[in-house]
Amino acid sequence: MKTLKQVPLKDYTTIRIGGESSDIYFPESIDDLILLKNIIASKKTIILGKGSNIAFKDHGYKHSIISLKYFNKNKIDDNTHQINVMAGVSCARFAKYCHKNYISGYEFIHGIPGSIGGALAMNAGAFGDDIWNHVISVRCILNNGSVKNFMRNEIKTSYRLVNKFNIKIFLDVIFSIDKHIKFDKLLLSKYSKNRTDTQPIKQWSSGCIFKNPSKDISASSLIDSANLEKVKIGGIYISKKHCNYLINDGSGTCQDLEELIRYIRNRIKNKYNILLDKEICIY
């Protein structure tokens, strides 16, 4: 199994922030994961998908990291009612696979730049849909290193939140195929266009930094109305295209990011008495 040490963690995140790593393991199979049992058992070990919702501290991460980047062999298998996908498969690839095979319902996930495992961990969603709405069951590795299957109703989820209790790793998932949804060949490109038009997808970011406080109030509407559009701390600034995106101009540090997050939260708390909750994971 490939292992790396002392590599710049910014290279593993879409916001391109982070100091040096300690050991990063790249398992490709269950056998590789069995070898990592003790590492998996450590509370400090973290799982890395595509790093699209992660920033690492400037001094780096001193504990082990397990990347599921190569955990994508035999990747997508479908039959008429369900589809099996491994955690390391990218959301875009999975959505394109579905589209190519006339499977409806997964177009919403196409523009999410993460992995299926990361999407399960974050309950990623877009355009009014969430990934867990489509799950039949998941296969996981628990904190003690054992493998366990869970049916959908055994896992509690809510908006961008999954109660993982003793789950350490989402390994793969069985999604349902809903034959009742009519296939719309234009939907994928319609969603992609919506993203390009409204989000700074070509810049270094982690997507939305804050969760929406409720169904009726978006974090971006609060930030927008608090006149924060010109705020920049160090190399991190609020995107003009979508003010819930914080952009790294290339010189940004984790300290800049955390200061800007604090600044925005304080301004929103003082103005609206609402405490914004972070969506990004900072390690």
The footprint of ligand FAD (CB under 6 A) covers: 14, 46-54, 68, 87, 112-115, 117-119, 121-122, 124-126, 169-170, 201, 205-207, 281
Tokens in use for 142?
Answer: 């628990």
Least distance between ligand FAD and beta carbon 273 (Å):
26
Smaller CB distance to ligand FAD: residue 123 or 253? 123
The nearest distance, CB 32 to ligand FAD, in angstroms, is 14
Of 26 and 170, nearer to ligand FAD (C-beta) is 170
Q: How is residue 255 written in tokens?
A: 């300290």
Scan for tokens 């955390």, then name that residue. 258
For residues 172 and 87, what is the distance between their CA atoms, to the nearest angstrom?
5
CA dist 218 and 174 (Å) reads 31
Round to whole Å and give the CA distance between 1 and 64.
15
In whole angstroms, the minimum distance from the beta carbon of 13 to ligand FAD comes to: 7
What gap in Å lies between CA 46 and CA 67, rounded to an integer?
Answer: 9
Burial class (CB in 10 A: 0-12, 13-18, 19+), 19: middle
CB-CB contact of 44 with 64 (8 Å): yes
Kindly tell me which of 80 and 214 has the beta carbon lying closer to ligand FAD. Answer: 214
**Minimum CB distance to ligand FAD, residue 119 (Å):** 4
Q: Which is nearer to ligand FAD, 87 or 188 (CB)?
A: 87
Q: How far is the CB of 40 from ligand FAD (least distance, A)?
A: 11
Q: Which is nearer to ligand FAD, 39 or 281 (CB)?
A: 281
β-strands 232-233, 129-130: how paired? unpaired
| CB 167 to ligand FAD: min, Å | 7
Closest approach, Cβ 270 to ligand FAD, in A, equals 27
SS3 state at 14: coil
- Output 117 or 252, the one with its CB closest to ligand FAD: 117
Residue 177 and residue 81 in contact, taking contact as beta carbons nearer than 8 Å: yes
Convert 54-75 to b/e letters by CB count within 10 Å (16 or more is b).
bbbbbebbeebbbbbbebbeeb
Which lies closer to ligand FAD via its Cβ, residue 71 or residue 79? Answer: 71
Nearest to 196 by CA among 129, 111, 126, 279: 111
CB atoms within 10 A of CB 25: 21
